[in-house]
Amino acid sequence: MSTITDARKDWIEHCKRVQEMTFVNDFEAQADKMKRINRAKTDYNFYVQTYFPHYTFDKSTGKNTDCGDFHIKWANAVKKDPSFLGVAEWPREHAKSVHNDIFLPIWLWINKELDGAVLTGKNETAACTLLGDVQAEFQFNERLKSDYGDQYNVGDWEDGDFVLKDNTYFMAIGRGQSPRGIRKGAKRPNLGLIDDIDDDVIVNSQDRVTGVVEWIFGAFYGCLDIRQSRMLMSGNRIHPKGILAHVVGDVEEGDPKREGLYHSKIFATTNGELTGDPTWWQKYTPEALHKRFKRMGDFLALKEFFHKYQIKGKIFKQEWVHWDKVPRMKEMDAIVAYFDPSYKNTTNADTKAWRVWGKKGIKKYLYKSFVRVCSITDAVKWAYDYYETIPEDVIVHFYMEDVFLQDEFFDDFETEGELRGYYLPVIGDKRNKPEKFARISTMTADYQRDNAIWDEKERKNPDAQTGYLQLMGFEKGSSIKDDAPDADESAWHLLNKMTRQEKFPGMLGKRVNKRIW
């Protein structure tokens, strides 16, 4: 079965939902109807709530979700300026496409400010699919039809265009396709929509990226009515030098933004950090948002929700981190699992980090990571679970700062030990540690000399990726947490001390029966 047939089936199901959710009151007074129509033209949130319940209804609450403050501010800016040029750089799951490709074009249309719209995406299929959502509203939205008449005329989204009875037309083209000559009678399009035009392939070729940017401001923007036209771009900054970044203009640090561009850059939280309150508080609770971040891991969460594709390391360089196959644990001279617990259980606390490093000769190998904002109980349970996976012929030395073993943290280890019937052999690290920045920075020598290897099997592990992000973000004044690099340095210090004092054989004998610890 072809993809387009599947897309058509999905579209038909979507149309049924649109029709079912937009029922009308046949006995409504004409005065009430006109009042609603007039209010919808100026009150964006009211307009969205009135005509699009199939998008705003939240099953979990049984209520419609209001627009975010940033949605309303953006929509009013678009409507106010007939020559609007702007970029909506919004996080994942913050309704970029729905607002910019569906709600806003129709809002401009009911305000009689739309002659025609041309929509583009990363390819023609993606653009046509988005166009289908617009067509569904004009064909099957009963409230829209009741208030503004049955407007759909001819055309089909699968063919890339459709026309309304008032000759307003909508067209979809793929990235790079020629839009020249687009018009309906004397009408040229006066709205250009660019949706998620970046992809993971094109961002790796700057020549292709700049070529698309030239196409956007040349052929695409040039096909719009020269007198008054709006052009809206929406997407994530999936790469620091992607198409969106070039359109905005701030590709490199300190670069000015494009002159005359309205830039709406929104983060998922109000403070721009993983621990903040939701920006779209009308939809998301802090608990739901933080749960999503935790499951994704900091690395992916920052990319998808905070436009941080990667951290350009200033102390530790990306090319220094080598993901490779690691030797078997029993071949190590010594292995240390080091725990940096942070001080609080609150959601805005430091991450809690377990890092398991082995050393053989001069090389160090990262076997396992646990790097999360969580409770001490969760971190302790992970350590016990990991301990139970260690082969019988391998000894792993578990450490944490001695000061933590003297307070309430010890209770968590003891409680879990009583439940499991043995106590995890955690040793207190009594070292009087030097200043953090200086000691973590000493690890650069081993990284530069390719003496630090990260297990390739852990590459997609969110905990390992969070640890990677913290290493890359390590610098003076950075807002990125540093608990993983801190644990790394402590583990390395102990490994160096162990192997300097005596040569551990690859096999240290049978591990003591866990059930008697």
Query: Quick one: pLDDT band at residue 345, thresholds 50, 70, 90?
Result: very low
- Higher pLDDT residue, 202 or 517? 202
Domains 3-266 and 318-516 share a fold: no
Residue 510, pLDDT > 60, answer no
Own/partner long-range contacts of 22-30 (Cβ < 8 Å, ≥24 apart): 22/51, 22/53, 22/54, 22/140, 22/141, 22/142, 22/143, 22/144, 23/142, 23/143, 24/142, 24/143, 24/146
Task: List all residues 6 or more positions away from 341 whose beta carbon is below 8 Å from its beta carbon.
Answer: 352, 376, 379, 400, 401, 404, 409
Domain extents in the chain? 3-266, 271-307, 318-516
The per-residue pLDDT for 59 is 85
Per-position b or e across 226-253, b if 16+ CB within 10 A of its CB = eeebbbbbbbbbbbbbbbbbbbbebeee
End-to-end Cα distance, the chain = 60
- pTM score: 0.69
Residue 267 has pLDDT above 90, yes or no: yes
Q: Supply 361's token pair.
A: 């000769």
* Stretch (H or E) spanning 324: strand 322-324
**3-state percent helix, strand, coil for the chain, nearest multiple of 5:** 45, 20, 40
pLDDT, tens only, 149-186: 999 999 999 899 999 999 999 999 999 888 766 766 66
Amino acid at 355: R
The whole-number pLDDT of residue 391 equals 95
* Closest of 126, 109, 86 to residue 221, by C-alpha: 86
Identify the bridge partners of residue 232 per DSSP, sorted by sequence position. 86, 193
Classify residue 291 by burial, with Cβ atoms within 10 Å: 0-12, 13-18, 19+: exposed
Structural tokens at position 462: 């969110």
363: part of which helix (H) or strand (E)? strand 363-372
Neighbouring C-beta atoms of residue 445, cutoff 10 Å: 10
CATH topology of domain 318-516: Nucleotidyltransferase; domain 5 (3.30.420)
Does residue 372 or residue 82 have the better pLDDT? 82
Token pair listed for 403: 């000061």
- Among 454, 492, 499, which Cα is nearest to 472's? 454
Distance, in Å, from the CA atom of 480 to the CA atom of 470, rounded to the nearest integer, reads 6
Name 283's Cβ contacts closer than 8 Å, sequence gap at least 6.
58, 65, 68
Rounded Cα distance between 441 and 395, Å, is 28
Amino acid of residue 131: L
Average pLDDT over residues 245-255: 87
Question: Residue holding tokens 């809690």?
Answer: 352
- Closest to 171 measured CA to CA, from 150, 151, 157, 153: 157
Helix (H) or strand (E) holding 447: helix 444-448
Identify how many contiguous H helices and E strands the chain contains and give both numbers: 21, 17
Average pLDDT, the chain: 89
How wide is the angle at C-alpha 507 spanned by C-alphas 505 and 510, nearest 5°? 135
Identify the architecture of domain 3-266 in CATH: 3-Layer(aba) Sandwich (3.40)
